[in-house]
Amino acid sequence: MNFRKVCVWLCGGLGLMQDSNAVRAEVVMDAVCSGDRCYLRTAFLPNEPSYAVDCYICADAGVGAVAYVTGPAEDLRGYVTHFDPWGRRLHEPALIDQDHSYRPYYMCADRSGDVTAVFWRSGLVNAHFLRNFDSSGVALCNLVRVNDISHSAPGNWTVSVGPQRVAATMIRNTQVPPKEIVSAVYSPFGEPLSSAPPFDTQAGYAVRPKSSITVNGDLLLAYSSGVSDPYEAGVFHRVFADASGQTPAFAEPFANPIDVWPLNNGLAALAFVNLEEGSPDFAVEFIRILTLDGEPVGDLIRLASASTIDIAGDRDGGVAQLSIDENAVMRVAVYDHEFSLVSPAFPIQPAAINAPNQDTIYIAKPLALDPNGTIWLAWHARSGPDANIYIGTLQPFLPGDMNRDGLVNNFDIDAFVFALSNLPGYAATYNIPEGAAVIIGDINEDGFLNNFDIDPFVSLLAEE
């Protein structure tokens, strides 16, 4: 693993604003090369150090959405804020509960296109609520009261955004079996679109649902059979047009689902952890490829890293796997569209950010993968009343790709000369921070972008 020279970029005015009070802003950036990939690593604080209850991160279309609950324990507030991959905030933080009548406690979120959905359980009333936002923080709808539900523990609900649809799914009757899974579907503007009967889990018990929406607008849902013996990961494919798909299309024995997502080739991917006692693969993570009718395709795909916290995939088949090592450092491994490991696990945080501790596992959804290849992460730096939430991004890049087209060739020459002669102008033209421009153009890896990089740049072009 090759760590490139560190470039630290500290800026003011990029942190979140809460109740119109400016808070500390800090963006730190460096780069790491692992396997055959290089990544720009960026980390920043999205909130004022305070009591953090929950945090979800999701990403699509080059924008990351951070939904979190923070503030004094007696007056928690829920926010959603959108950032670009460089840590630049796109708007003031938006309160998800505009009149503070249905205070959020635990939440989940998803994003597709320009729609971000936040789905949460109220800390004041026994109900769940949904609200959708665009990337500028404008609410697309008022609060949608999805369902009144009792005893719904964290992790027992999920939300998915797809083409013109937002699906809110939750476990009902969570104290005793049967534990029904119910789903309600809305437009991005909060209009109800369909009401289907509960899913038949057949096992009579269900927890930890995971969901996504296909390109056709159908729902993929995975769930765990929970405490039943043996564990089982069930997968539904519900066609919203006729509300079909009431029973599982597929069941993976001895498995606990981590995530499920559709692929552009019309198939689906189920990530799960093996829970078969006595198996040599006990606690190992796998991916199963399925048809939407539930037929397995090919062999099981065994992932390389252990101690997985989260897995995220994109529609083209790329996968990011977040794990934690024996020193409590979070690491990310990256797989290509054929599920081959291309970047062995490396630390997610830049060198200038202190390593997080075990509290990282309390982030509900710490990992998101944008189809453009950018990996988004969220983690706690420490626990207690001053629990910072950090957001990080990992953006794949090629050293010397100065025109940012994903290739290194003669078309980068003019952009390289531009960066040498006018770094601020180059950064503004390509809409990237100057620190990122230095990292990309610092071919001799001495921490600077200057004339000493010219000969290495020419050699790099000759190699290509």
What confidence tier does 315 reach under pLDDT thresholds 50, 70, 90? confident
Number of helices and strands in the chain (H, E): 4, 32
Has residue 254 got a pLDDT over 90? no
Crossing angle of helices 413-421 and 434-441, in 10° steps, is 130
**Greater model confidence, 379 or 437:** 437
pLDDT of residue 411: 96
Mean pLDDT for 67-73 is 77
Has residue 404 got a pLDDT over 60? yes
pLDDT of residue 229: 55
pLDDT of residue 5: 41
| pTM greater than 0.95 | no
∠ CA 175-122-46 to the nearest 5 degrees?
A: 120
Q: Does domain 155-302 have CATH number 2.120.10.10?
A: yes
Pick from 222, 150, 141: nearest CA to 186: 141
d(CA 49, CA 55): 14
Domain boundaries, the chain: 155-302, 410-463
**Greater model confidence, 133 or 248:** 133
Q: Is 154 exposed, middle or buried (0-12, 13-18, 19+ CB in 10 A)?
A: middle
452 φ/ψ angles, rounded to the nearest 5 degrees: -70, -10
Highest mean predicted confidence (pLDDT) among 34-43, 344-353, 418-427 = 418-427
DSSP 246-277: -S-SEEEETEEEEEEEE-TTSEEEEEEEE--T
**Mean pLDDT, the chain, integer:** 81
Has residue 73 got a pLDDT over 90? no
pLDDT of residue 149: 56
Pick from 447, 459, 431: nearest CA to 90: 431
Has residue 63 got a pLDDT over 60? yes
pLDDT of residue 76: 76
pLDDT of residue 43: 82
d(CA 169, CA 48): 31
**Greater model confidence, 190 or 18:** 190
Has residue 413 got a pLDDT over 50? yes
pLDDT of residue 9: 38
Instruction: Give one word for 406, left, alpha or beta, with left for phi > 0 and alpha for psi -120 to 50.
Output: left
Mean pLDDT for 207-229 is 81
Beta-carbon neighbour count of residue 167 at 10 Å? 29
What confidence tier does 457 reach under pLDDT thresholds 50, 70, 90? very high
Pairing of strands 219-224, 207-213: antiparallel
At 275-297, the pLDDT tens digits run 888 888 888 899 999 998 889 99
Mean pLDDT for 246-274 is 88
275 φ/ψ angles, rounded to the nearest 5 degrees: -120, 25
pLDDT of residue 163: 87
At 85-94, the pLDDT tens digits run 998 889 988 9
Highest mean predicted confidence (pLDDT) among 58-62, 75-79, 350-354 = 58-62
At 167-195, the pLDDT tens digits run 998 877 655 556 678 888 999 999 998 76
Has residue 368 got a pLDDT over 80? yes
d(CA 458, CA 442): 13
